[in-house]
Amino acid sequence: MQKIEVFGANKLKGQINISGSKNSSLPILAATLLSSKRVYLNNLPKVKDIETMINLLKSLGSKIKFDKKRLIIDNSKQNKKFASYSLVKTMRAGILVLGPLLAKFGNAKVSLPGGCSIGTRPVDIHLNALSKLGVKYKIIQGYVHATAPKGLIGSKIRFPKISVGATENLIIAASLAKGITILNNCAIEPEIKDLVNFLIKIGCNIKWVAKRSLKIIGVSEINETTYSVMFDRIEAGTYLVVAAVTEGNLNIKNVIPNIIQTEINTLKKIGAKITVKKNEIHIIGNRKIKNMNIKTAPYPGFPTDLQAQIMVLLCKANKKSLIKEDIFENRFMHVAELNRMGAKISTNGNKAVVEGNINFAAAELMATDLRASVSLILAALTAKGKSVINRIYHLDRGYENIEKKLKKVGAKIRRVN
């Protein structure tokens, strides 16, 4: 079992290049199933979840190979409609193959997904919405058995609550449905806009008709295309917090700053000095960190995927802060580990009170999910002495070469077996 050792505490300085977006790549990879022609994808991150999704597509009959840094997907002979638990169990995004398989074949058998244990994240919103396109389904022994006896037929659908995954699944499925689909109360995360841009490029007819509404006219022809995935805004946000918490001086490259304006504004209020250029953010961490109350919310609100990281920063603030987690009901599992390092955080339901004014102490730690694991690295970077983080397979699901990127800017960090 691999571990990461971190020797704090030193100020980090230099440049970090941000990888392609994991949360954008996964639905785009699923959407390639719509095509029977070649798709060329650039800027995919080298992380475990992407590897798992590629293996899932291969199990469905996709022919996939890397040409230098470009992924080539050929679905001309893709004909399988069964997504097994063994491949879907480690990531939530596995359920995203359901929409394209139903659109293409009219039936599919897909395992209910796994992933991080940060909340139930039920798929009922996906299934109820798909049923409005003519899908009939049963859940038997952990598998969704779904059929569309008359094919997918366009409909007007309003999501009962904002769901990134359900929005993605329905956009992909409706792209080949007969007639017109109107989706209301959609999630509008940048990764969804990236998915829509990809689908338009392969020949789908999709248009934003209001802030959270899409009009999709089903098509029968899909084009061969080349597409480059957007930057990973959560990775970018994580390294911005790294600079702020270590009093560092970092240039974050390969980004579009206005996409993460909420995160930039939050860090400025907390005390970081930030200047932006076209594809670059320069951040200098401040020794004096101001307290702040933060509530996670769907985009363009503060992202739940940065909640654990910002909590580490607020542990060093001058006064008490409050964090309200409004997306997932079980996303404070990092609190116990941070408290073992000297933090003073108390939780009550979806609220966490962060006392502030603490110095982290080095410790042996256990990662519980993807973003929690990176928050422990952030805390360890500020603690004197050696910290050891166990169960880092969570980390590898979403961060490409994190120890190499941190080492390059002065962190004393290494991976050990």
- Active-site residue set: 116
For the CA atoms of 331, 334, 338, 344, what is the dihedral angle to 10 degrees? 20
Residue 135 contacts residue 157 (beta carbons within 8 Å): no
Q: Quote the tokens at residue 321.
A: 């802060």
CB 224 within 8 A of CB 39: yes
Write the secondary structure of 281-335 as one string of H (helix), E (strand) and C (coil): EEEECCCCCCCCCEEECCCCCECHHHHHHHHHHHCCCCCCEEEECCCCCCCCCHH
Amino acid at residue number 347: T
Structure tokens at 157: 């659908």
Q: Quick count: other Cβ atoms within 10 Å of Cβ 117?
A: 12
Helices and strands per DSSP (H, E), number in the chain: 14, 24
Supply the DSSP symbol for 230. Answer: P
How far out from the chain centre does Cα 400 lie? Answer: 13
Cis omega (within 30 of 0) for bond into 9: yes
Which residues fall within 8 angstroms of residue 142, CB to CB, at 6 or more apart?
85, 111, 112
Contact (CB, 8 A) for 216 and 179: no
Residue type, 252: I
Please name the residue ranges forming H helices in 32-72.
48-59
Q: Structure tokens of 314?
A: 């607020």
As beta bridge partners, residue 70 has 67
SS3 content of the chain, % helix, strand, coil (to 5): 35, 30, 40
